[in-house]
Structure 1
Amino acid sequence: MKKIIIWHNNSCSKSNSAKCFLEDNGIEFDVRNYLENPPSKDEIKEVLKKLNISVKELIRDSEKLYIDLNIKNVEDENILLNFMVENPILIQRPILISNEKAYIARPPKKIEDIINEF
């Protein structure tokens, strides 16, 4: 299995569940607390390629900040990327990343299937 990085938020139960799953199953991984160490625009673009999703799909539209910033109707991907760089709380979590692939590990029970893909 390839080395995995988890974009993790300690305050998120789903992120903590994914991290615990990795630990409990002896899977080697590195933790990136992406709120303390936010990804750059290029890093987000790379993860989007690995996820094979749009910028809009990576945004947590359930966050209060999403509503406060009034970005629901923003379609410009560059503007959306800037919002995520400036406000990493808007990024979906947890994200498991290897050199070739990435997965949003939600719901937590999905993680077992995801790990087999690495």
Structure 2
Amino acid sequence: MQNDNVTIYHNPACGTSRNTLAMILNAGIEPNVIEYLKNPPSRQELSSLIERAGLTARELLREKGTPYAELGLDDETLTDEQLVDAMMAHPILINRPLVVTSRGVKLCRPSEVVLDILPKPQIGAFAKEDGEAVIDSAGQRVK
């Protein structure tokens, strides 16, 4: 039997994060929701998430609506350690939503990426906040 433990590093102000959370709920899963701006991961947790998601620190960096430019984070000579330092100092730089399941860790952008790692299928139809259909009434992915 698969473990349904699902954790989402969530920002309720982000539409992609809200859509991802809604798809987790649509699978009948009550996830552990971590509002990472209020409760940022430790340095060790963040480094582990990056590694488990198969990302580089740069790939997890969020530019839009963050101090990315002011901090000079577009400097390609910065190391992963330096980029993680910036994310620890400014959690808004951590792109979201990150989802952790028994099937892996993914940065769920676009939100339907979460479907690849959920341990349970979708229960019914689902459309994103903008009305885009993602799951049909049979619980199958559209497209």
Equivalent pairs counted in the alignment come to: 117
Q: 1:37 maps to which residue?
A: 39
Q: 2:56 maps to which residue?
A: 54
Which one has a larger percent helix, Structure 1 or Structure 2?
1
Q: Which moved more, 1:27-36 or 1:101-110?
A: 101-110
Q: 1:66 maps to which residue?
A: 68
Residue 26 and residue 99 in structure 1: after superposition, are their counterparts in 2 closer, same or farther (change >3 A)?
closer
Work out the CA distance in 2 between the residues paired with 1:31 and 1:61: 23
Q: 2:85 maps to which residue?
A: 82
Residue 32 and residue 64 in structure 1: after superposition, are their counterparts in 2 closer, same or farther (change >3 A)?
closer
Stretches of 4+ aligned residues off by more than 4 angstroms: none
Q: Secondary structure at the match of 2:112?
A: helix
Tell me the percent identity. 28
Residues 66 and 90, structure 1, Cα contact 8 Å, conserved in 2: yes
Q: Which runs of 5+ in 1 are unaligned?
A: none
Q: After TM superposition, give the deviation of residue 25 of structure 1 in Å.
A: 2.0
Work out the CA distance in 1 between the residues paired with 2:84 and 2:94: 10
Deviations 1:30-77 (A, max 9, x none): 000000001111111110121111111111123341112121105222
Query: Root-mean-square deviation (CA), in Å?
Result: 1.9
Work out the CA distance in 1 between the residues paired with 2:86 and 2:25: 32
Q: After TM superposition, give the deviation of residue 26 of structure 1 in Å.
A: 0.6
Work out the CA distance in 1 between the residues paired with 2:28 and 2:7: 14
Q: Greater Rg, structure 1 or structure 2? A: 2
**TM-score under structure 2 normalisation?**
0.74
Q: After TM superposition, give the deviation of residue 111 of structure 1 in Å.
A: 2.3
**TM-score under structure 1 normalisation?**
0.88
